[in-house]
Amino acid sequence: MEKILPFEDTQKIIFSQKQISIPTDLRPMYKISLILMMLKANGYSKKLSYLQLQYLNWLVKHDEEVKDINFSQDELPFDSIRIDPFLNTAIEYCIGEKLIEISKSGKFELTAKAEVFINKIVKEKVLRDEYKLLKSIGSRRITDNKIKNMLEGY
pLDDT at residue 31 in the model: 96
Pick out the chain residues at pLDDT < 70. Answer: 1-11, 13, 74, 153-154
The pTM of this model reads: 0.81
pLDDT at residue 13 in the model: 65
- Torsional sign, CA 83, 88, 94, 100: positive
pLDDT at residue 80 in the model: 79
> Hey, which bits of the chain come out as E strands?
47-48, 100-102, 108-110
pLDDT at residue 138 in the model: 85
pLDDT at residue 5 in the model: 47
Q: What is the largest CA-CA distance in the chain?
A: 66
pLDDT at residue 118 in the model: 92
- 43 sits in the region (left: phi over 0; alpha: psi -120 to 50; else beta) called beta
